[in-house]
Structure 1
Amino acid sequence: MTEILLGSLVIMGLVVGLAMGLLAFRSRLLPSGDIGLDVNDRMHLRAKRGVRLLDVLHGFDIPIPAACGGKGTCGLCRVTVLGDGAGTPQATERGVLSPRERRAHVRLACQTTLSGDCAVWVPDGILSAGSGFACTVASARMLAPLIREIVLNMPDDRLSTFRAGDFMQITAPAYRLDFATLELPEPFREPWEIAGWSEMRVSSEAAVTRAYSLANRPEDAGTAVFNIRLAVPPPGRETEIPPGLVSSWLFTVNPGDSVTASGPFGDFHVRPGTREMIFVGGGVGMAPLRAMIHQELAGGTDRRIRYFYGARAAADLFYSEEFEALARQHKHFSWRPALSDPAPGDRWTGASGFIHEILQAEMTRHASPEECEYYLCGPPVMISAVLATLQRLGVEPDAIFYDDFGA
């Protein structure tokens, strides 16, 4: 009995000693206490070690854009960071940032964990944007089974600050949602029932912010127009991946409701010049391209403009009548939609296939595709396919501008 008691005490002593040793070792590797963070040599912040840089900046109302929920895929939270306290770039960052950006100390704030003092530079426009402001929903309507157009009335001091291609950030409050309670227009009820989306539920215990591109036309002055795609989980993974937290909430708002937004932000804009412009979009990549095309045509440009847009079926194609009207009004503008998987009932007579295939077929007949300027926006898979197509056509990278919505 004595031997058992002594053995137990020895084992307990070894365990306690090992635990204390590990704690001491950890404290040397990760010393406690606050760290210093200089932002643009204008703000001096204090933060806890081990927190993400994006969380620190958002905590001090510096609205660094983010659209992917911290997964490091959208690339919107690019900042320049100097100092050993930011560590080395993660594998996720190396997949998004170019070698030139990494050499210039550009980091993704959502992937940067702070372990010591460092200096951060963010675009001046972000610092001047300040915290979010309240808008009122002017209208909301379904454009496709998973896409909703939301128009916000802007405060008087924010009426004329947009550039085509800009985006804004929208914050959803804490909420709970049973999708069965959503009121869906008749044309969209059947797709929801077939896909089982009405059976989804989602909740958020805290406010969440995401970035959305503006779809504004010149005649939309005083408002902010968004094309919101509901981010649903892939089939078969509904129990593993929740629906999008902000997009789900935005499917519940109605005219008169209040929405908190910030911005605008962005550097995805039309470049001045005389080259022919080719726009290629898919999904809600429609939003910034729509704004750019309307901006150029309303401004009286004489540049040739072609717009290639890909959707899966006719139900997913929206604003088509609008662009058909523009093509009739402006002889130097053409609209080329394509469906990758038209339904039998669509009676589709237009182009069929993936949009990069349609683009290649048409631009191969172009006299000099390498002399055109290309603007791309849509899902990452589409962007990758179009970039490969343009490379085969001999287009140089400096003639290609894109936003890949990599959420």
Structure 2
Amino acid sequence: MTEVLLGSLVIVALIVGMAMGVLILQRRLIPDTGLDIAVNETLHVSARRGDRLLSALHGAGIMIPAACAGSGTCGLCRVTVTGDGAGEPQATERGVLSPRERRAHMRLACQTSLRGDCAVKVPDDVLTSGARFVSKIASTRMLAPLIREIVVDLPKEQSSEFRAGDFMQITAPPYRLDFGTLELPPEYRDAWDIAGWSAMSVTSDAEVTRAYSLATRPEDQGQAVFNIRLAVPPAGREDEVPPGLVSSWLFSVKSGDDITLSGPFGSFHIQPTEREMVYVGGGVGMAPLRAMIHQALSQGTTRRIRYFYGARSAADLFYADEFTQLADRHANFSFSPALSDPAPGDRWTGATGFIHETLRAEMSRHPAPEDCEYYLCGPPVMVSAVLATLGRLGVDRSAIFYDDFGA
């Protein structure tokens, strides 16, 4: 018994000694010295070896957009990085960045692990619009079982001039939320109970920032309007995948609460041409398309505008009355919603099936679909299906502009 005990102690001592030796060697070979990040040749940010570039920039108040929790899938945190301190691009970056972008030293800030000093070039609007500011929530309302509209009153000193298609970043504070305490409209309570969402809970121990598109119309002067989809885990994986950290918090906020924003940012905008515009959306892809359509019509455009929007059932179809009224008032605008799985009680008489099928059916009758301009926003699977449909219709990719919200 004594020999077994002594042997165990010797093994433990060897393991501890080896671990300490590795730590000492690591400190000697890789000194924990401060690093310098030169931003746009005017600012200098301090960082530590091993820090992610995105975290270092955010920590310095340079709010590079990001929407995928650091997984490298949304592609929003593109920056130009020069110097050996950024290392080589990761496999994730090679899957998102084109060869031309990589040759131009483009990197994903969330995937760049710092090894030494480097220089970073960020978009100018990040420096001019990237400062965080606190606003007040004016109102909230449920639009669909998992979609909530949040209207924010912007501070008077904060510009409310947005370009339709822009997005802002929202920062959620640390919090804990039991979903059973959320106030839900009666018409959505059954859906929540059946799906088990009411039994979920989430805890966030630190601030978390995500990007959300603006659904703001010209008449929403002085306000920012967001369509927030609650990111729930896939069915059967509730114990493995947590709900979205920022979207969950946004489902709990009320009128009068503070909210921290930065922006606006964005490059998904209406092109200055005279071509017919075709919009295709799904889910909260509604937000930027709503802003674009309202902006174009309010400016008196004579361009033909078609809007195709896909939802699962009537409960998931929101702003429908608004767009029907727009179509009644504007002869150059039409709204074509489609439901992929209408419920028996929906009494739906419109198009059924996936939205790319409705798009194909209508645009196949168009005399020149290749001469139109296409704006897509929604889930990646929807965007992929629409891109394939447009390819079969002979539409060149240069006429297609889209945002698929990452992965």
In the other structure, the counterpart of 1:384 is 384
User: Counterpart of 1:218 in 2: which secondary structure?
Assistant: coil
Tell me how far 1:244 sits from its aligned partner: 0.6
1:179 partner letter: F
SS class of match (1:92):
helix
SS in structure 2 at match of 1:57: helix
What is the identity percentage for the equivalent residue pairs of Structure 1 and Structure 2?
71
**Amino acid corresponding to residue 263 of structure 2 in structure 1:** G
1:317 maps to 317
Tell me if structure 1 keeps the 8 A contact 2:64–2:130.
no
Separation in 2, partners of 1:346, 1:71: 38
Residues 143-193 of structure 1 show CA distances to partners (whole Å, capped at 9, x for unaligned) of 000000000000112243211001111111111100100110111111101
Change (3 A) 1:10 1:187: closer
CA contact (8 A) 2:39 2:121 kept: yes
Tell me, in whole angstroms, the C-alpha distance in 2 between the residues paired with 1:55 and 1:166.
Answer: 23
SS of structure 2 residue aligned to 1:252:
coil
SS of corresponding position for 2:219: helix
Distance 1:365 1:215 in 2: 31
Residue 86 of structure 1 pairs with residue 86 of structure 2: yes
- Compared CA separation, residues 5 and 193, structure 1 to 2 (3 A): closer
Residue 347 of structure 1 aligns with an amino acid whose one-letter code is R
CA offsets 1:250-297 (integer angstroms, 9 cap, x no match): 111111111111111111110101011110100000000000000000
Q: Within 5 Å, give how 1:390-401 maps onto structure 2.
A: 390-401=390-401
CA contact (8 A) 1:30 1:115 kept: no
1:10, 1:143 → 2: CA distance? 65
Cα distance in 2 for residues equivalent to 1:227 and 1:19: 50
The separation in 2 between residues aligned to 1:35 and 1:69, in whole angstroms, is 24
What one-letter code is carried by the residue in structure 1 that aligns with 2:318? F
Q: Name the structure 2 match of 1:108.
A: 108
Residues of 1 paired with 2:239 and 2:11: CA distance? Answer: 43
Instruction: Tell me, yes or no, if the aligned pair for 1:132 and 1:261 is still in contact at 8 Å.
Output: yes
Question: Which whole-Å CA distance do the structure 2 matches of 1:386 and 1:26 have between them?
Answer: 51
How many residues in Structure 1 have an aligned counterpart in Structure 2?
Answer: 407
Q: In structure 1, how many angstroms separate the alpha carbons of the residues matched to 2:285 and 2:381?
A: 12
> TM-score, normalising length from structure 1?
0.95
Runs of 5+ unmatched residues, structure 1: none
Note the residue ranges of structure 2 that are not aligned, 5 or more in a row: none
Distance 1:12 1:191 in 2: 54
Q: What is the alpha-carbon root mean square deviation over aligned residues?
A: 2.2
2:240 aligned counterpart, secondary structure = coil
Q: Which amino acid aligns with 1:217?
A: R
Tell me the TM-score normalized by structure 2. Answer: 0.95
| Structural mapping, 1:181-260, within 5 Å | 181-260=181-260
| Structure 1 position 341 matched with structure 2 position 344 | no
- State how far apart, in whole Å, the 2-side matches of 1:29 and 1:358 are: 61
Matches within 5 A, 1:255-404: 255-404=255-404
> CA, structure 1 residues 185+397, in 2 after alignment: closer, same or farther (shift >3 Å)?
same
The match for 1:51 is 51
TM-aligned CA deviation for residue 30 of structure 1 = 3.4
8 A contact 1:159–1:221 mirrored in 2: no
* Cα distance in structure 2, aligned partners of 1:359 and 1:4: 74
* Cα deviation, residue 5, structure 1: 12
CA distance in 1, matches of 2:286, 2:99: 29
List per-residue Cα deviations over 1:55-104 (Å, max 9, x = no partner).
00000000111111111111111111111211122222222222222221
What displacement does 1:390 show?
A: 1.2
Quote the residue 2:164 is aligned against: 164
Shift, 1:19, TM fit: 4.9
**Amino acid aligned to 1:98:** S
SS of 2:170's equivalent? strand
